[in-house]
Amino acid sequence: MTAYTPEGLPDRIQHYIDGEFVDSIDGDTFEVLNPVTNETYVHAAAGKKADVERAVAAARRAFTEGPWPRMLPRERSRVLHRIADLVESRDQRLAELESFDSGLPITQALGQARRAAENFRFFADLIVAQADDAFKVPGKQMNYVNRKPIGVAGLITPWNTPFMLESWKLGPALATGNTVVLKPAEFTPLSASLWAGIFEEAGLPKGVFNLVNGLGEDAGDALVKHPDVPLISFTGESSTGQLIFGNAAPYLKGLSMELGGKSPAVVFADADLDVAIDACIFGVFSLNGERCTAGSRILVQREVYDEFVERYAAQAKRVKVGHPHDPETEVGALVHPEHYDKVMSYVELGKTEGRLVAGGGRPEGFPTGNYVAPTVFADVAPDARIFQEEIFGPVVAITPFDTEEEALALANDTKYGLAAYIWTNDLKRAHNFAQSVEAGMVWLNSNNVRDLRTPFGGVKASGLGHEGGYRSIDFYTDQQSVHITLGAPHNPTFGKA
């Protein structure tokens, strides 16, 4: 099957500021590549400090003078539901563009588009149901909490599942009455450009949503350092998160950062191996392995280790690599040649650090493009770089363990702590292990099934803060305590005559 180009691609990608599509003030652009061919298919406006300042000024004006922050929650909820309806109605087109731009398999991109609609619907419902605390002392005092939107939220999103992850930030930021400036990843700006039309059609007021494309070191850096942007929500690499942390510190900004991961999948001898193998295949090879919660370290108890490795490797070899637009494709093309080179460097390194049992290079039939065969290394030592470092591709390391104590030590033996997956039929072990593993999210005998009401985030180098459900409401609002005296005021008298 030959490379596919969707119809109706834009001839250029612009910023969207104060209700208008605009070029960069200096006219600069950057190339956007097709991951299947690595050819430039469009140029996008390259935002700089001046463009960010223009966008922030528009968002600030919409916050201080516009209707959005002062609308009733039910009124904002109606707009968010219309947004969700529009996203749902355009899911096929969104998936087509997302798959083309990012290299994700079309069937998985379609799921992400539908999830984006659900994110808006969830927060549309949540703000109407929001109940804040009130504390009463009858006849004496009443205290209640008043939530207020904070201002301009700076949203910096990654290139893996970009449209869905943009919705994960846009939904709660807008629901709570803030205005936003979105800086999408430079590798995948195509689907982000669709938000403007969706928001306009849904009735979002002018200036509430603004979008600035550009490189992280230019547009992203300017957004983080802008004094009129009190909130930054970032998803991306831990090293970039450290830079943002330092650059935001002088302004004491609110930060929510979901960072890298090297999540363990722990398979005990009493686990259902059929189910565990399926889950561990999906957990690292879905979304091309470009997922923060990938179970990229598989720890297997010695009694079933050889059987697990043999069966896992055989199944990995059957995973269908193909063009992103092919509905049968399970692993598509990695997002960009820079990332492809990084992943392939880890594949070569892995050949010196473990036993290669599947993959290990470019798959047959794909001489060009960013294709990596699903790659499995067994017998990987805990100090190996492929055990310790985030690869963010279809590459997995398998390591044996003997005891539960050893499994826990191995699981916790990285700087990351985003997710963990535990496979065992011992109920007591499952819960005790979950409480001891250093991870923000744990799945017991299940694989990355998310309830949007629960907190999402990691510990250690995997994140700062949590979002999801009421945690998102907390992040995007100020909580003001109001105190009322119902009886005689309790005032100690100073300076009494």
Q: What is the pLDDT of residues 187-229, one digit of tens each?
A: 999 999 999 999 999 999 999 999 999 999 999 999 999 999 9
The residues carrying an active-site annotation are: 258, 292
pLDDT in tens, 239-282: 999 999 999 999 999 999 999 999 999 999 999 999 999 999 99
2 pLDDT band, cuts 50/70/90, is low
CA 258 vs. chain centroid, Å, equals 7
Mean pLDDT for the chain overall: 96
Contact 285, 394 (CB under 8 A): yes
Contacts of residue 34, defined as CB under 8 A and 6 or more positions apart, other chains included, come to 3, 5, 40, 41, 100
Q: In degrees to the nearest 10, what's the CA dihedral of 253, 258, 261, 265?
A: 140
Q: Would the pLDDT of 37 be above 90?
A: yes
d(CA 186, CA 28): 14
pLDDT in tens, 370-396: 999 999 999 999 999 999 999 999 999
d(CA 111, CA 169): 18
What pLDDT, on the 0 to 100 scale, is given for residue 448? 85
d(CA 402, CA 168): 40
364 pLDDT band, cuts 50/70/90, is very high
Cite the DSSP H helix spans in 323-448. 337-353, 385-388, 404-411, 427-436
374 sits in which H/E element: none
319 pLDDT band, cuts 50/70/90, is very high
d(CA 349, CA 326): 31
Helices (H) and strands (E) in the chain, counts: 15, 20
The model scores a pTM over 0.85: yes
Q: Would the pLDDT of 35 be above 70?
A: yes
pLDDT in tens, 472-492: 999 999 999 999 999 888 888
